[in-house]
């Protein structure tokens, strides 16, 4: 099928481009700042009694095999002057290595849902955890006064609440009852069906609402075709219900915004868009197109759903207008 998306170039690297001394994820840093950042992270872990070796590409690997990814932390320090980096890095590792705080029983009322890139999991995917989107895992999360504790494995603390499976269900019930901020954005005012709903306002559980999607977008509001979602980081969820040719500007806007948010915001998840059909099937609909640029691919279940709704020709004509 044809593409219906204006093209969007992949982000280019700075000093961290291939061939440089800084990896792409830290491309905005000079080599000296990059070295200082890695040293600060290793020192902060050592202050908690954790000895770790840097793998050269964004992960500190502890002696017990735990992986500490540095990409999200680099996004946080980017917004801070270098003189504040020691405090920011120290506070970050304090929050994720506070064993005393995490040692006690879990209060059921504090359990919600969060998301984690599968590639960033500290170990193999536990059987009770599933991908809510391709490559994005839904995990139970404990809300604390100054941090969020994500739970990835079974243990003595998870057992009283039914293990990870019980915690996921508990998180669903709790999160479904919590009100959330949303903003409806009409991307093209000539097409009222180009509405994109943004959910979040930096709510740490915004992306976790993918686990309670019926509470976010009731089935009656999804139309006959389905919806498209994006979760560029943990604090933002974008949703568009497909109702007509307005999906073209809507998805254009979603992709541009999702990529920008993914590239700059902490707690990044994915720059892609995903189609969820009326039966709950999920398909990633973005990928490289001509000249290695990113666009939407009208193929597979997504194309079939548009074809059944009589929108495929409409979408193709609109895509030509956008090219």
User: Which of the pair, 96 or 298, is modelled with greater confidence?
Assistant: 298
Residue 6 has pLDDT above 60, yes or no: no
Note the pLDDT of residue 118: 85
Residues 6+ apart with CB under 8 A from 320: 2
Mean pLDDT is lowest, of 156-160, 297-301, 309-313, for: 309-313
Query: Band of the pLDDT at 5, cuts 50, 70, 90?
Result: very low
Residue 130 has pLDDT above 70, yes or no: yes
> What tens digit of pLDDT does each residue of 142-194 get?
887 767 788 888 888 889 999 999 999 999 999 999 888 888 888 988 888 89
Note the pLDDT of residue 167: 95
pTM of the model: 0.75
Note the pLDDT of residue 162: 94
Mean pLDDT is lowest, of 87-91, 102-106, 129-133, for: 102-106
């Amino acid at each position: 099928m044809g593409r219906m998306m204006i093209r969007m170039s992949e982000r280019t690297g700075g000093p961290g481009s291939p061939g440089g001394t800084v990896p792409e994820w830290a491309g905005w840093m000079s080599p000296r700042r990059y070295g200082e950042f890695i040293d600060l992270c290793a020192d902060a872990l050592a202050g908690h009694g954790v000895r770790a070796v840097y793998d050269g590409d964004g992960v500190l690997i502890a002696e017990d095999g735990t992986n500490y990814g540095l990409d999200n932390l680099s996004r946080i320090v980017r917004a801070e002057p270098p003189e504040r980096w020691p405090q920011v890095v120290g506070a970050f590792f304090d929050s994720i290595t506070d064993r005393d705080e995490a040692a006690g029983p879990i209060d059921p009322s504090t359990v919600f849902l969060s998301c984690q890139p599968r590639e960033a999991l500290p170990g193999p995917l536990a059987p009770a955890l599933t991908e809510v989107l391709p490559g994005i895992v839904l995990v139970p999360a404990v809300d604390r006064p100054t941090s969020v504790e994500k739970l990835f494995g079974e243990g003595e603390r998870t057992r009283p609440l039914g293990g990870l499976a019980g915690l996921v269900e508990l998180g669903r019930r709790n999160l479904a009852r919590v009100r959330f901020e949303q903003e409806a954005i009409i991307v093209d005012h000539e097409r009222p069906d180009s509405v994109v709903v943004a959910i979040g306002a930096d709510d740490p559980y915004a992306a976790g609402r993918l686990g309670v999607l019926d509470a976010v977008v009731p089935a009656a509001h999804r139309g006959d075709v389905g919806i498209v979602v994006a979760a560029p980081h943990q604090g933002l969820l974008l949703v568009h219900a497909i109702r007509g040719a307005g999906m073209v500007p809507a998805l254009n806007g979603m992709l541009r915004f999702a990529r920008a948010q993914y590239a700059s915001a902490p707690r990044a998840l994915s720059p892609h868009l995903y189609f969820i059909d009326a039966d709950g099937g999920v398909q990633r609909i973005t990928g490289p197109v001509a000249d290695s640029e990113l666009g939407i691919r009208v193929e597979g279940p997504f194309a079939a759903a548009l074809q059944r709704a009589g929108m495929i020709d409409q979408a193709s004509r609109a895509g030509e207008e956008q090219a």
